[in-house]
């Protein structure tokens, strides 16, 4: 397909575990994929690995927890690649501890990176989407934003906040051909989850009816589904993907 006709997808936190899988699957599905990264150290290596695997994916530097940095990055993408049709708000961090021990910066860093980033990026792509009467906004939340998790008051608050954002914005832009949805993954095998102490993680996996961690490709598949043209009547929704860990 001619690159000029492809839908452009921006994945934030592209070089992470889930971001990488999303970029590959979106590329395989025929999207023009651009990724965001924060730390330069990984970027070149990541791009080379992608290229060796047959994936031509441009990376753009930006700190999504910062409004101006996110805006600058999106401006650069739109002037060099083209307008962003689909935004996947995927970048995120954990700073786990019980609230009693939580440092003030661990609260703010998580809220800024996991929740304020959604505002910071969406705000900059939305006017163009409204003008073009098409858009897909996909917010990567978490099972722990649905049900809470011991040691994650900051993370669960940010991820739960995404649901309110999704539902409200979905109503505001429904008539502009833009859908806004949330995906809530359970525990997926990436560096983020592998940082959980092994003993604690074993206990968590034991509570998953499927008895295993999720695969990054499984979440990537759902992202592609929501990014597709055919899901135009799905908006304000949340998709759980957690192996049965949280059913309601
Ligand atoms: N429920 C109830 N009590 C618990 C508990 C739990 N889940 N976990 C620990 N406790 C209790 C302990 O038994 C202990 O009790 P006592 O003092 O009576 O012995 C007390 O809490 C303190 O436990 P720790 O010494 O382990 O506490 P800590 O402060 O050193 O560590 C923690 C706490 C950092 C939260 C650690 O338990 C941890 O890392 N937990 C995992 C949190 C988690 O699931 N994070 C997910 C990261 S991945 C991700 O976020 C992706 C996603 O979206 C799914
Ligand atoms: P990961 O491998 O740690 O990747 C996270 C990515 O986010 C990294 O590329 C990281 O870049 C990037 N990032 C962090 N802060 C950023 C910032 N300020 N600006 C730009 N990029 C930033 O984790 P993951 O498991 O793939 O997680 C991806 C998303 O899925 C997160 O939002 C996470 O909360 C969510 N999620 C994960 C799971 C899971 O089980 N893995 C479950 C539910 C939800 P650097 O490497 O440069 O820091």
Atom 32, ligand 2: residue with shortest CA distance: 92
| Contact indicator for 23, 54 with CB cutoff of 8 Å | no
**What's the number of CA atoms in the CB half-sphere (13 Å) around residue 109?**
10
Residue 111 near ligand 1, beta carbon < 6 Å: no
pLDDT of residue 151: 97
Residue 77, judged by CB atoms within 10 A of its CB (0-12, 13-18, 19+), counts as buried
Separation of first and last alpha carbons in the chain? 41
- DSSP letter, residue 32: E
Please give the number of the atom of ligand 1 that sits closest to the Cα of 151. 35
Say how many C-beta atoms besides its own lie within 10 A of residue 119's C-beta: 16
pLDDT of residue 219: 98
Please give the number of the atom of ligand 2 that sits closest to the Cα of 213. 40
Return the sign of the alpha-carbon dihedral for residues 72, 95, 222, 166: negative
Residue 152 near ligand 2, beta carbon < 6 Å: no
pLDDT of residue 140: 99
pLDDT of residue 2: 57
Least distant ligand from the CA of 96: 1
Residue 145 near ligand 1, beta carbon < 6 Å: no
Q: Which helix (H) or strand (E) holds 49?
A: helix 40-52
Residue 134 near ligand 1, beta carbon < 6 Å: no
Distance of CA 149 from the midpoint of ligand 1 (Å) = 8
Helix H, strand E, coil C: the string for 57-106 is CEEEECCCCCHHHHHHHHHHHHHHCCCCCEEEECCCCCCCCCHHHCCHHH
Residue 191 near ligand 1, beta carbon < 6 Å: no
Distance of CA 245 from the midpoint of ligand 1 (Å) = 17
- DSSP letter, residue 196: S
Closest CA to 180 of 131, 219, 132, 141: 141
Residue 154 near ligand 2, beta carbon < 6 Å: no
Name the active-site residue from 108, 155, 187, 248: 155
Distance of CA 94 from the midpoint of ligand 2 (Å) = 8
Atom 23, ligand 1: residue with shortest CA distance: 98
Closest CA to 189 of 168, 204, 209: 204
Grouped pLDDT means (10 residues each) for the chain, 248 residues: 80 98 98 94 93 97 98 98 98 98 98 99 98 98 97 98 98 98 98 96 97 98 98 98 96
Q: Is 108 part of the annotated catalytic residue set?
A: no
Distance of CA 63 from the midpoint of ligand 2 (Å) = 12
Cα 72 to chain centroid distance, Å, stands at 19
pLDDT of residue 41: 84
């Amino acid at each position: 397909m001619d690159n000029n006709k492809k839908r452009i997808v921006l994945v934030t936190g592209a070089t992470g575990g889930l971001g990488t899988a999303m970029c590959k699957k979106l590329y395989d599905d025929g999207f023009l994929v651009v990724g965001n990264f924060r730390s330069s150290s990984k970027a070149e290596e990541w791009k080379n690995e992608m290229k060796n695997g047959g994936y031509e994916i441009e990376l753009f530097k930006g700190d999504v927890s910062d409004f101006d940095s996110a805006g600058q990055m999106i401006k650069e993408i739109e002037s060099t690649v083209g307008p962003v049709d689909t935004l996947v708000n995927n970048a995120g961090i954990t700073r786990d501890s019980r609230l009693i021990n939580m440092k003030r910066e661990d609260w703010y860093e998580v809220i800024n990176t996991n929740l304020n980033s959604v505002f910071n990026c969406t705000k900059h792509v939305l006017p163009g989407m409204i003008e073009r009467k098409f858009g897909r906004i996909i917010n990567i939340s978490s099972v722990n934003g649905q049900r809470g998790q011991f040691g994650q008051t900051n993370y669960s608050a940010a991820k739960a906040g995404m649901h309110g954002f999704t539902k409200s914005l979905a109503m505001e832009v429904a008539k502009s051909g833009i859908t806004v949805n949330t995906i809530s993954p359970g525990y997926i095998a990436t560096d983020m989850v592998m940082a959980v102490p092994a003993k604690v993680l074993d206990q968590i996996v034991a509570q998953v009816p499927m008895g295993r961690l999720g695969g990054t490709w499984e979440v990537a598949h759902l992202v592609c589904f929501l990014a597709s043209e055919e899901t135009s009547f799905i908006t304000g929704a949340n998709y759980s993907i957690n192996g049965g860990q949280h059913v309601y």
